[in-house]
Amino acid sequence: MPENLRVLIVGAGVGGLALAQGLRRAGIAVTVCERDSSAVGRLQGYRLRIDPNGLDALDRLLPPNLAKAVWEASSSPSRTGYLDGTPPAEPVERNVSINRLTLREILLHGLDDVVEFGRECTGYRLDDGVTATFADGSTKSADVLIAADGVNSVVRKQYLPHAPVLDTGVRILYGRFPLTRETAELIPDEWFGIYSGLVGPDNQHIGIAPVHSRRPAPLPGLTDPGDYVMCLYAARTELLPCSDGELRAATGEQLRDLTVSLTRQWNPEASELLALADPATLFPIFMRTSVPIDPWPTTSVTLLGDAIHAMSPAVGVGANIALRDAELLAAKLAEVAAGAALVPALREYETAMLGYGFDAVRRSAKFGALRMGQPPLPVPA
């Protein structure tokens, strides 16, 4: 076991940053390298559902002031309360919505000397520990390398080339529109909650998710996301009148018009809400999923979140599973820093993570089939 444990995390998403906070809190030296140029480098979505497991993990990983900030930035939307003009109350249940950027900014708080943006990892090599290589020609060595670089993980492709990530054939068009008294009046009571999924012919899917921010901001410097409604349309490629290339090249106006025309016949009320989407906010996601694999020989490289168990958003647990990964991995690395052997500790993490992580992949695929037309996962040989 290294005398002073050094951990390198590739990827500054929710899981990677939560892990970094937990390691920093435990006094473990950690660096996070992120390929994006900043926290707002690209659109990744507009809101996340954080369930009790995710909130509990954040409570244990974060300093108390940041855990409190996450709670204060979260909400359980109420149509009646919004129309009354009253500020959103503290959520009653530990099942909340939070703006994705807000959560990321909270997780970045206090990590200025830890997170390095604009650092695109290209691979790694195992030596006395592990050395990551980067697109600018630089390298960084550590005792442990954590792949938290998402569904397109460069580290996973090198480390586990046999771990498949499949295109589900489902395309999701995300957008948002402002939540105002006028737009709130257009949303039926039963759609004004954490998330409302509406299923139409051939498993076409409409999602409506109001996000009502509580103010003032719980930490200085947070971006004010305003009040808005995340909306989405999902369908299989054969139901869309365009190719994937055309979908990627489409303007926001074209994407909005596409969602409206495809939903008008089977849910005109929801179609009118999709028509409110700001064209500048529309973007497509090509939905993919991991496929469960058997355990591998443990080394000083390991993975968390979408880098190993990407899943359909059909049950909204992906971020919560990544937070569970971060909590467990932080605890195991703290044991190593206290004198435990590295590889056995990482093996214990991987054994548990592969169990609950791939269970979530299977459950998400099951409901993805019911709600979005996702094909079944391949049956292992």
Burial class (CB in 10 A: 0-12, 13-18, 19+), 240: middle
Supply angle C-alpha 100, 89, 97, rounded to 5: 20
- Tell me what pLDDT residue 221 has: 87
Smallest CA-to-CA distance from 24 within 103, 104, 111 is with 111
Query: How many CA atoms does the CB half-sphere of 81 hold within 13 Å?
Result: 17
- The amino acid that residue 264 corresponds to is R
Q: How far is CA 48 from CA 146, 311, 367, in A?
A: 23, 14, 18
In the chain the first and final C-alpha atoms are separated, in Å, by: 38
pLDDT of residue 39: 77
Euclidean distance between CA atoms 46 and 245, whole angstroms: 24
For position 95, what pLDDT does the model report?
86
For residue 243, count CB atoms less than 10 angstroms from its CB and return exposed for 0-12, middle for 13-18, buried for 19 or more: exposed
The pLDDT, as a whole number, for residue 168 is: 97
CA 170 to chain centre: 18
Residues 6 or more apart from 296 whose CB is under 8 A from it? 160, 350
Per-residue model confidence (pLDDT) at position 45: 75
Which of 25, 295, 309, 366 is closest to 147 using CA atoms? Answer: 309
What strands, in cross-sheet order, belong to the sheet with 121-126? Answer: 121-126, 130-134, 139-142
Could you tell me if 75 and 212 are in contact, meaning their C-beta atoms sit under 8 angstroms apart? yes
Q: How far is CA 280 from CA 9, 16, 208, 252, 277, in A?
A: 32, 28, 18, 6, 8
**73-96: burial string, b at 16+ Cβ within 10 Å, e else:** bbbbbbbebbeeeeebeebeebbb
* Upstream peptide bond of 178 is cis (omega within 30 degrees of 0): no
pLDDT value at position 75? 84
Q: What are the CA-CA distances from residue 39 to residues 11, 34, 64, 108, 301 (Å)?
A: 11, 9, 23, 9, 25
Encode the chain (381 residues) as per-residue pLDDT tens digits. Answer: 456 999 999 999 999 999 999 999 999 999 999 999 887 766 667 899 999 999 999 999 999 999 999 999 988 877 766 776 665 656 667 889 999 999 999 999 999 999 999 999 999 999 989 999 999 999 999 999 999 999 999 999 999 999 999 999 999 999 999 999 899 999 998 998 889 999 999 999 999 999 987 777 788 889 888 899 999 999 999 999 999 999 999 999 999 999 999 999 999 999 999 999 999 999 999 999 999 999 999 999 999 999 999 999 999 999 999 999 999 999 999 999 999 999 999 999 999 999 999 999 999 999 999 999 999 999 765
